[in-house]
A and B are shown apart, each in its own frame.
Chain A
Amino acid sequence: MKNKLLMLVLIFLLLLVSVPSAWSYFFTYTKATGTITINLLDDSDIDECVVDNVKEVTVTAKPNSDPVFIRVRVFKASDVAVSYQGDGWILNGDYYYYNIPIDGVDGDPFADNTTINFTVTMSSEAEYADDETRHVAVVYEGTPALFTTVQPTSGTYWTQKDGDTVIGYWYANWEKTLTQPAVGGEN
């Protein structure tokens, strides 16, 4: 009986010494956390100012809008001559395309590019054969700028860089345009 008791004590002590000593080291931890909400919005607005026979069209990305590509098209009578003016617009087919996305956020990568202008100047009424009023309508469309790291082979795209390093490419899919109050006023 005495030996059995001694055996139990021995087993207990041996188990005790076999417990890992990990807890005897001094260590600790702490954690810092943070949350950021993602807001995605594609929205732009158009303003027009008509003075005599000059139409100034201003397209503005709404505040907090994500980058969108913009294109405009001018509808007119065949006997109306018009000329267009505006930096950064590229004629391709029936549309003028603005070559950089606009967005509603100040700062990179589209800094100072929340508003773009397009000017249409039409010939004066005195040049028409009749006294009818001629109409010129400017239609604009927007589409969300999509992002890829593979350089597009065609279509409208803009290269985002950090210094000389290419970050990626923003491109437009004009098969899918955003519905806008797109038709501008008449003149």
Chain B
Amino acid sequence: MKKKNLSYVYLLLLIFAIGILGFTTVSGVAAAEPNITSDDQSSVMNMKIMGVSVLKNGDPVSTIVYDGEGGWDKTETTTLFGSDASLKVGETIDASITIANGIDNEDEKINVYTRVIIYKYWMEDNEKDFSADPAKIHVALKNISGTVNSDLGWNMAGNDEDAAGTWLLDSQTNEKIILYYDSLLEAGDVSAELMKGLEIDGSIKNDYKTEYLDDGKTIIGYDYLYNGKSIKIEVELDAVQDHSAEKAIKAAWGRNVTVNDGKLSLND
């Protein structure tokens, strides 16, 4: 009798587990197919795809598009600054950076929320140079909500009055800054400008080794520590579906956010 009761318990547990499993699977599929609605059954057969781009001066630099078959097509059209870019003290490199949702095929794209992580650091001999100071790379940002720290090399280049959205400052170090875009990027949308350009801190000329003539007084030249090094800039674009955005962002990026009337805000 006791053994029989135990079997009933196992059976009930089994039904319960199968029920939970079935429910979870259904909700998972719904999340993966965010644009499927009962009024648009064709979407079930032709799932809308995700595709986003990083733009420089309005032109795509790097694009990724879901191929509809479980893979992603990534296209890196060019680099941010060209193959032989150089910079001197006192010069500014203009690079207007925006992002876009599927500008090449707007009918097929799902709406997305986005964040951008900008990395800046030094390279020497094609390897990361940890001895050089990333704060000496000054990146000019635009349309930011939050206080950027110029001591870390992040500067404000102002906000556009008619900006399509605002970049919410999440965190910053001298090497990277994380920005969340507060507005939904619908298919075909281009974001507000987030970066305008960059320059190097003139103080890099204060870091030099000297060579002396025999008299010990006259310097025959300066061997600058930063001469010949390279600046590396990376603009990483992350995008997530707009459906169940708060949960999706938490799952994908581990960040608690609130989406209210389409506007994203960062939770404390």
Which residues of chain A are within 8 angstroms of B53 by Cβ–Cβ distance? 30
In the bound complex, what is the Cα–Cα distance between A160 and B34 (angstroms)? 53
Docked-complex contact A10 and B227, CB < 8 angstroms: no
Q: Is the interface of B mostly helix, strand, loop or mixed?
A: mixed
Q: Is B164 an interface residue (CB 8 A)?
A: no
Mask, A21-49, CB within 8 Å of B = 1, is 11011111111111111111110000000
Q: How far is the CA of A16 from the CA of B23 in the complex (A)?
A: 12
Chain A residues, Cβ within 8 Å of B84: 37
A59 beta carbon closer than 8 Å to chain B:
no
| A147 close to chain B: CB less than 8 A | yes
Contact B14 A36 (CB under 8 A): no
**Please, how many angstroms separate the alpha-carbon atoms of A22 and B79 in the complex?**
32
Q: Which of A87-95, A114-122, A173-181 contacts B (4 or more CB under 8 A)?
A: A173-181
| Residue A166 CB within 8 A of the other chain | no
Is A105 a contact partner of B88 (Cβ separation < 8 A)? Answer: yes
Whether A26 touches B248, Cβ cut-off 8 Å, given contacts A10-B13, A13-B21, is: yes
Q: How far does the Cβ of A147 sit from chain B's closest Cβ, in whole Å?
A: 3
Q: Which residues of A contact B131 (CB under 8 A)?
A: none
B252 cross-chain contacts in A, Cβ below 8 A: 22, 25, 27
Of the stretches A1-9, A50-58, A76-84, A132-140, the one at the interface is A1-9
Q: Across the two chains, which residue of chain A brings its CB closest to B62? A: A32
Q: Which of B18, B82, B88, B235 contacts A40 (CB 8 A)?
A: B88
Question: In the complex, are the beta carbons of A31 and B205 less than 8 A apart?
Answer: no
A33, chain B: closest CB distance, angstroms: 5
Out of A13, A32, A110, A177, which one reaches B90, CB within 8 Å? Answer: A110
Separation of A146 and B207 alpha carbons in the complex (Å) = 10
A109 to B219, CA, bound (A): 26
A7 to B9, CA, bound (A): 11
CA distance A6 to B6 in the complex (A): 11
Give the CA-CA distance A49 to B91 in the complex, in Å.
Answer: 32
The size bracket of the interface on A is 35 or more
Chain A residue with Cβ nearest B219: A176
**Complex formed: what's the CA distance from A110 to B88 in Å?**
12
Minimum distance in angstroms from B209 CB to a CB of chain A: 12
* A14 proximal to B (CB < 8 A): yes
Contacts of A31 in B (CB 8 A): 54, 62, 234-237
A126 interfacial by beta-carbon distance below 8 Å: no
| B45 at the binding interface (Cβ < 8 Å) | no
Complex CA–CA separation, A88 to B227 (angstroms):
30
Measured CA separation A41–B204 after assembly (Å): 12
| Assembled-state Cα–Cα distance A31/B226 (Å) | 26
B74 located at the interface, meaning its Cβ lies under 8 Å from any Cβ of chain A in the complex? yes
Does A64 make an interface contact (CB < 8 A)? Answer: yes
Point out the residues of chain A lying under 8 angstroms from B7, CB to CB.
3, 6
Q: Tell yes or no: B1 within 8 A of A by CB.
A: no
The stretch among B173-181, B182-190, B195-203, B259-267 that forms the contact with chain A is B195-203
Residues of B contacting A37 in the complex (Cβ-Cβ under 8 angstroms): 84-87, 228-231
| 8 Å CB contact of A38 from B54, B226, B244 | B226
Decide if A28 touches B239 in the complex (CB within 8 Å): yes
Does B93 make an interface contact (CB < 8 A)? yes
CB pair B87 A32 closer than 8 Å = no
Residues of B within 8 A of A (CB): 3, 6-7, 10, 13-14, 17-18, 20-21, 24, 27-29, 31-32, 34, 50, 52-54, 56, 61-64, 66, 72, 74, 76, 79-82, 84-93, 95, 97, 110, 123, 198, 200-206, 210, 213, 218-222, 224, 226-241, 244, 247-248, 251-252
Contacts A/B (CB < 8 Å), 13 sampled: A6-B7, A21-B251, A24-B32, A34-B82, A36-B230, A36-B233, A37-B229, A38-B88, A39-B87, A40-B88, A66-B89, A67-B90, A179-B218
